[in-house]
Amino acid sequence: MKAFAQKPDVDLSIEFAGIRSPNPFWLASAPPTDKAYNVERAFEAGWGGVVWKTLGEDPAAVNVSSRYSAHFGKNREVLGFNNIELITDRSLATNLREITEVKKRWPDRALIVSLMVPCVEESWQAILPRVEATGADGIELNLGCPHGMPERGMGAAVGQNPDLIEQVTRWCKQYYSKPVIVKLTPNITDIRVAAQAALRGGADAVSLINTINSITSIDLDNMVAKPTVGSQSTHGGYCGAAVKPIAMNMVAEIARDPETQGLPICGIGGISNWRDAAEFAALGAGAMQVCTAAMLHGFRIVEEMQDGLARWMAEKGYRSLAEFSGKAVVNTTDWKYLDMNFQTIAHIDQDKCIQCGRCYIACEDTSHQSIAKLIDASGARRYEVIEEECVGCNLCQITCPVEDCISMVPQPSDKPYMSWNEDPRNPFRESVTATN
Amino acid sequence: MTHPLDHLPRAGHGSDSDSLEANFSDLHPPLTQRQAFIESQRCLYCYDAPCVEACPSDIDIPRFIREIAEDNINGAAQTILEENILGGSCARVCPTEILCEQSCVRNHDTECQPVLIGLLQRHAVDHMHFDAHPFLRAADTGKHIAIVGAGPAGLSCAHRLATFGHQVTIFEAEAKPGGLNEYGIAKYKLVDDYAQKEIDFLLEIGGIEIRHGKRLGDNFDLESLRRDYDSVFLGLGLGTSRQLGLTGEHAEGLMPATDYIKELRQSEDIGDLALAQRCVVIGAGNTAIDMAVQMARLGAGAVTLVYRRGVEAMAATGHEQEIAKANGVRIITWAQPEQVLLDATGRVAGMRFARTEPHGDTLAATGETLDIPTDAVFTAIGQAFDDASLSDVRASQLGREAGKIEVDGNFRTRLAGVYAGGDCIAAGQDLTVQAVQHGKLAAQAIHNEIMAQQEVA
């Protein structure tokens, strides 16, 4: 037994679109939430909620073998993950029964039911009362599944059509009394259009992103992509750490769009640790869904996520998620509003530099030739920034293997803020100055 | 002439030969595929990498390590062999701790430890699998070059000349090629007859003939080489060991370490080797360490290495000294040989050393002496080339520098058309990798000269 230890004095509990949860970490609709066994284990491990793997009409879907593939890093760490699974392949009755039982046993946890049925009113009208009867806290519309289901007119086929998003959301609000979360697909041009449609349909919240169409790798011996089913493959849905930047952008787009501002957002996409969660919250996410990280490491990761987030919050003086949620949204703007008079320059900490020359060759070959390679009297190499040539692009800092060795130093300036709209170098300058 | 250690018991006496053999297996086990892959990821792929600057043979180290990381073993091997055709043995015998690995940027405090460059190089060369020899021989030039010595310098030179399309004949005194690699390196550094295997691969280029039993100054001379060949490269090894200059130098029980190492490496059954239960090794270089450690591994109870100066002045690297200590070798410093102590039958019974102390730049005797009883004394106080080999009229015209052959920046001796490299020239650290580089560069210089002459003609 561990010794009693001081815990950070913060409240991780949330209320998201009317759904209460002891912490913001939910398991996303996926294999980890496909049955009572897994969900119970997740709750035991400390997850604040789950989105039960998507239910559909009977007969249940049938899956192929195999189903997953990955985009690996050099040390075989999984950078991105890919799957060609369909919605649950268990019967509706079994799932509904288990959902009812689990919710009874874990009343304090959020239990959301993911749904996907054909795009006709009767189908939604038929399933929603049965879902409502389980006692689950809300539903999430799976309008994003990119493989298999769109061919059947569901999943991303709906999520890519704003009119259908609005229509289906409306039916759900009509036949279901609890919160309706609309899960959006990233396989579109402008996520704001889909979010606006969900809002028009009456959505209580949106969640994003679903997976991205992808092919992770090719078996070069057999000339077939992975995952391989016999001798063939198909595109899958991409998720995991690699999609986080894409997901965060889409969350931010919705968070700062005047039409959808204030619409609760459940962040999904590559959330693997407390920092990822804090970043999504900073961009306006009120809850976070996790799947790939749990699939790769097990449910135990939630311990680190809760502890890390709580400690960081305590350090910063945030007592609840709401206190910092969305704080980075106001600092996210369009390119044209960025300050043209701001200048930053790279600085190399010579005490930390290990003289690998990576910054030098990156800058020399591909950027601005603003790092000098010097040899000092003892014959030792030394790299110095040529400040007058440096544009502050960050490439050297990115290539440097030593953390905090290269820093970007903002340069003092007596010039006021000036956007591109105001910049005399802009031939299409707007006559009226806009602000951010 | 009787063998100086014939009176001693055999190493195999009282122990089974399998366990003895096991004592001479790889000092550093090779990396597994997975280890190599993980280690290769640690390389930062430095630009103008310090490890390359530190490598005497100019191997593009970051490139070959990246090739290992990218699952391109043949590419990695070729990157190595293009600059160092003996990259496999160099990976095993190079003192990487004072060369590439010492320069690795990951030596910085914050970086844990240097990348294991030597072991990665070995991994690449050990695992290459070419369908055809990876080097091409240019169209025959009709030129024929003589090389004296089939050691690393001579072989490297020969290989490079062969790629240029020249015909090469190597004159080698010993029965096998390889020089130091075959005869002079501790057995546990080059196991499984690796030296021979590597040479077999090298010779696949074609156009190289090796004539064994040919000793310069003994059964052929430089004059005839200059007459019969378009150019000559001298890759002479260091054929003789320095002597103590003491009475008793030729007594039974005393022999040069290099002679014993040669016997050890060539022995069919190391159990048959003479074992000195107590032995003294005099010297401070890698040969001294090799000797001491091998004697300890053969089963000697007390191995003492004695050096006249302090540890910091020892030529053997710190890493080598650690190996000696790990094998139970006692190292005594500040003691110089004074007298070989003989028993009633005239055999070595001990060694008397004069205690020394630094006196400015020189050594002074303190007046104290130290007697170490021993069954055998092995000298490893340096080697020189056999002057007899350079005694013919032509050879005596070669310039000398620091007791070795003088060459210019292009490895040219004072005799037109005669080049030299490796241990027999003044510049250098007496390292295999250095010899390989000399041979390679000399080949380039020879080629340039021959081809220029051809154009003039």
Which 3-state string (H, E, C) describes B273-318?
CECCCEEEEEECCHHHHHHHHHHHHHCCCEEEEECCCCHHHCCCCH
A329 contact B CB<8A: no
B38 contact A CB<8A: yes
Report how far residue B97's alpha carbon sits from residue B385's, in angstroms, rounded to the nearest whole number. 28
**pLDDT reported for residue A241:** 97
Pick the closest to residue A359 from A398, A407, A404 (CA basis).
A398
Each residue's pLDDT tens digit, B375-429: 999 999 998 888 888 888 888 889 998 889 999 999 999 999 999 999 999 776 7
Residue A345 burial (CB count, 10 A): 18
* Secondary structure (H, E, C), A66-79: CCEEEEECCCCCEE
Fold annotation for A14-331: TIM Barrel (3.20.20)
Residue reference for tokens 């260091």: B238
- In chain B, which among 395-454 make CB contacts under 8 A with chain A? none
| pLDDT-based confidence at residue A432 (cuts at 50, 70, 90) | low
- H-run or E-run covering B126: helix B117-126
Report how far residue A399's alpha carbon sits from residue B116's, in angstroms, rounded to the nearest whole number. 22
Distance (Å) from the alpha carbon of A408 to chain B's nearest alpha carbon = 21
A118 contact B CB<8A: no
Report how far residue B419's alpha carbon sits from residue B214's, in angstroms, rounded to the nearest whole number. 19
Q: Which residues of B touch A75 (CB under 8 A)?
A: 38, 41
Q: Which of A145, A363, A390, A405 is catalytic?
A: A145
Cβ <8 Å between B110 and A402: yes
φ, ψ (nearest 5 deg) of residue B245:
75, 30
Q: How do beta strands B278-283 and B376-380 pair?
A: parallel
A374 contact B CB<8A: no
CB-CB contact of B415 with B394 (8 Å): yes
Cβ <8 Å between A355 and B41: no
Cβ <8 Å between B48 and A373: yes
B264 contact A CB<8A: no
**pLDDT reported for residue B2:** 65
**pLDDT reported for residue B14:** 65
Domains A14-331 and A335-431 alike in fold: no
Report how far residue B74's alpha carbon sits from residue A305's, in angstroms, rounded to the nearest whole number. 44
B46 contact A CB<8A: yes
- In chain B, which among 199-218 make CB contacts under 8 A with chain A? none
pLDDT > 90? residue A4: no
Mutate to test the interface with A, among B47, B52, B72, B110 (most CBs of A within 10 A): B47
- H-run or E-run covering A141: strand A138-142
A360 contact B CB<8A: yes
Cβ <8 Å between A354 and B50: no
| pLDDT-based confidence at residue A149 (cuts at 50, 70, 90) | low
CA distances to A164, A175, B450, B453 from A16, rounded to whole Å, are 25, 21, 85, 88
Quick check: bond before A31 cis, omega within 30?
no
In our burial notation (b when 16+ CB lie closer than 10 A, e otherwise), range A195-216 reads: bbbbbbbebbbbbbbbbbbbeb
- H-run or E-run covering B163: helix B152-163
CB-CB contact of B258 with B237 (8 Å): no
Q: DSSP string covering B62-121, please?
A: HHHHHHHHTT-HHHHHHHHHHH-TTHHHHHHHS-GGGTHHHH-GGGSGGG-S---HHHHH
Cβ <8 Å between A358 and B47: yes
**pLDDT reported for residue A166:** 96
In CATH, B144-239+385-456 is 3.30.420.40: no
Helices (H), A286-409: 292-297, 301-316, 358-366, 395-399
A74 contact B CB<8A: yes
Task: Please compute, for residue B256, the number of CA atoms within 13 A of its CA located in the half-sphere on the CB side.
Answer: 16
Contacts of B262 (CB under 8 A, 6+ apart): B183, B184
A352 contact B CB<8A: yes
Quick check: bond before A361 cis, omega within 30?
no
**Can you give the residue ranges of every domain in chain B?**
33-126, 144-239+385-456, 241-382
Quick check: bond before B62 cis, omega within 30?
no
Q: Which residues of A touch B106 (CB under 8 A)?
A: 354
pLDDT < 70 positions in chain B: 1-2, 14-15, 428
Tokens (6 digits) for A93: 């009755």
Task: Report chain A's C-alpha Rg in angstroms.
Answer: 25
Name the DSSP letter for residue A405: T
Least confident stretch, A102-116, A266-280, B414-428: B414-428
A380 contact B CB<8A: no
| pLDDT-based confidence at residue A151 (cuts at 50, 70, 90) | confident
Estimate to the nearest angstrom the gap between the alpha carbon of B309 and the chain centroid: 23
Q: Is B417 left (phi over 0), alpha (psi -120 to 50) or beta?
A: left
Q: Which of B38, B47, B111 minimises the CB distance to A354?
A: B111
Task: Report chain B's C-alpha Rg in angstroms.
Answer: 23
Q: Which of B38, B44, B48 minimises the CB distance to A401?
A: B44
Cβ <8 Å between A75 and B44: no
Distance (Å) from the alpha carbon of A321 to chain B's nearest alpha carbon = 36
Q: How do beta strands B302-306 and B278-283 pair?
A: parallel
Domains B33-126 and B144-239+385-456 alike in fold: no
Cβ <8 Å between B47 and A357: yes
Each residue's pLDDT tens digit, A299-325: 999 999 999 999 999 999 999 999 999
Pick the closest to residue B450 from B165, B125, B172 (CA basis).
B165
Residue B453 burial (CB count, 10 A): 13
Cβ <8 Å between B49 and A74: no
Please provide the CATH number assigned to the domain covering B241-382. Answer: 3.50.50.60
**pLDDT reported for residue A5:** 87
Architecture of domain A335-431: 2-Layer Sandwich (3.30)
Distance (Å) from the alpha carbon of B102 to chain A's nearest alpha carbon = 13
Cβ <8 Å between A354 and B110: yes
Each residue's pLDDT tens digit, A341-356: 999 999 999 999 999 9
**Active site includes A145?**
yes
- In chain B, which among 49-88 make CB contacts under 8 A with chain A? 49-50, 69
Q: Is A16 exposed, middle or buried (0-12, 13-18, 19+ CB in 10 A)?
A: buried
Calculate helix-pair angle for A36-45, A92-105, nearest 10 degrees.
30
Query: Higher-confidence residue: A260 or B430?
Result: A260
CB pairs under 8 A between A and B: 35
Q: Which residues of B touch A358 (CB under 8 A)?
A: 44-47
Pick the closest to residue A340 from A392, A415, A407, A429 (CA basis).
A415
Mutate to test the interface with B, among A72, A354, A402 (most CBs of B within 10 A): A354
Pick the closest to residue B44 from A166, A378, A360 (CA basis).
A360
Cβ <8 Å between A358 and B108: no
Beta pairing partners, B430 = none
CA distances to B8, B278, B305, B358 from B351, rounded to whole Å, are 17, 11, 12, 22
B105 contact A CB<8A: yes
Cβ <8 Å between B47 and A402: no
Report how far residue B148's alpha carbon sits from residue B218's, in angstroms, rounded to the nearest whole number. 13
Cβ <8 Å between B44 and A381: no
Q: Which residues of B touch A220 (CB under 8 A)?
A: none
Distance (Å) from the alpha carbon of A314 to chain B's nearest alpha carbon = 30
**pLDDT reported for residue B389:** 85
Residue reference for tokens 């010794």: A3
Residues found in chain A:
436
Quick check: bond before A66 cis, omega within 30?
yes
Cβ <8 Å between A360 and B47: yes
Residue reference for tokens 């004074």: B338
Pick the closest to residue A204 from A145, A138, A269, A132 (CA basis).
A138
Distance (Å) from the alpha carbon of B105 to chain A's nearest alpha carbon = 6
**Can you give the residue ranges of every domain in chain A?**
14-331, 335-431
pLDDT > 60? residue A436: no
Average pLDDT on A77-95 reads 96
Tokens (6 digits) for B1: 């002439």
φ, ψ (nearest 5 deg) of residue B427:
-70, 140
A73 contact B CB<8A: no
A358 contact B CB<8A: yes
CB-CB contact of B162 with B207 (8 Å): yes
Q: Which amino acid is at A168?
A: V
Report how far residue B260's alpha carbon sits from residue B196's, in angstroms, rounded to the nearest whole number. 20
Q: Is B96 exposed, middle or buried (0-12, 13-18, 19+ CB in 10 A)?
A: buried
Q: Which residues of B touch A74 (CB under 8 A)?
A: 41, 69
Nearest CA in chain A to B38: A75
pLDDT > 90? residue A183: yes
Contacts of B371 (CB under 8 A, 6+ apart): B341, B350, B351, B352, B353
Q: Which residues of A touch B48 (CB under 8 A)?
A: 357, 361, 373, 381
Nearest CA in chain B to A381: B50
Pick the closest to residue A360 from A352, A370, A351, A350 (CA basis).
A370
Cβ <8 Å between B47 and A361: yes
Q: Which residues of A touch B110 (CB under 8 A)?
A: 352, 354, 402
**pLDDT reported for residue B420:** 97
CB-CB contact of A303 with A294 (8 Å): no
Q: Which residues of A touch B50 (CB under 8 A)?
A: 355, 381
Cβ <8 Å between A356 and B38: no
Q: DSSP string covering A299-329, please?
A: TTHHHHHHHHHHHHHHHHT--BGGGTTTTTT
pLDDT > 90? residue A429: no
Share of chain A above pLDDT 70, in %: 97
In CATH, B33-126 is 3.40.630.30: no
Q: Which of A352, A358, A402 minimises the CB distance to B46?
A: A358
Nearest CA in chain B to A362: B47
